[in-house]
Amino acid sequence: MKESTRRVAMVTGANGAIGQAICQGLAERDYEVVMVCRNAGRGSQAARAIEEAVAGARLRTEIVDVSRRQEVAAFAQRFTGRLDVLVNNAAIAPRRRTETPEGIELEFATNVLGYLWMAQAFAPALLAAAPARIVNVASYWAGDLDLDDLEFKQRDYNNDTAYRQSKQADRMLTVALAKRWPPSQLTVNACHPGDVHSTLSHSLGYGGHETPEQGADTPVWLAMDPAVAGVTGKYFAGRRQQTCEFARDEKAIARLVAICEGY
């Protein structure tokens, strides 16, 4: 395939179990993959593993902490070339409440604000390659959203509650973002990847029973399959569209977006 026509996908959290599997799945389908990682050593290790598994894999590793808006903005400014797909996958579930250097609760900054900041920062590049796609890796494990205490300044911090809240927020932001662009140019969808055996699942205390490859299946499918061309603002699991109860509350979605855009 000519370099000018090779599709490019960007994946955040690319060195995690699911993230690496998503990158490999896209590389196997001849995408050039931009692997966005927070840790350089782990990012390089993940890239080497993919290169060993996929002959001719084209990978680029970028070191970016998506919990920090300035890093996302700087990354977008230096990024060159086309971009067809953005997969927001980076997620954490620390057992103790911590904050970014900017003073934002870390799980909210990574799992929620990071998704929004990446989508906003790379929308111009995606639109330039239209039709393009954003895939937000969310979860069925979602709920407990408190719009008056998104950073657990009033509630006792619990990483499971914080994670559920973040995944509800991701599904709600997906609905809001999908309305910003014509579906013929840029679609935005969310999905549940499955219960994967990973560092994150162990942090939440449930371990996971699916392989990373199983977890990557629906995100990769949403990223490239013609069956979902033009479909936007939806939530999927197991390659099937699911009813999302959080998509109905338009007032709550609008308030969440307003809060997030205030950071």
Catalytically active residues, by annotation = 163
| List of residues 6+ apart from 158 with CB closer than 8 A | none
Q: How far is CA 131 from CA 6, 63, 84, 118, in A?
A: 14, 27, 7, 18
Q: What are the DSSP calls for 47-86, one per residue?
A: HHHHHHHSTT--EEEEE--TT-HHHHHHHHHH--S---EE
List residues bridging with 190 in a β-sheet.
136, 235
Calpha distance 31→87 (Å, rounded): 13
Taken in order 123, 115, 36, 217, the sign of the CA dihedral is negative
C-alpha dist (Å) from residue 195 to 46, 72, 114, 138, 202: 21, 28, 22, 12, 11
> Tokens 């050039």 map to which residue?
32
User: For 254, phi and psi rounded to 5 degrees?
Assistant: -65, -40
Which H helix or E strand runs over 186?
strand 186-192
For residue 191, give the 3-state DSSP assignment. Answer: strand
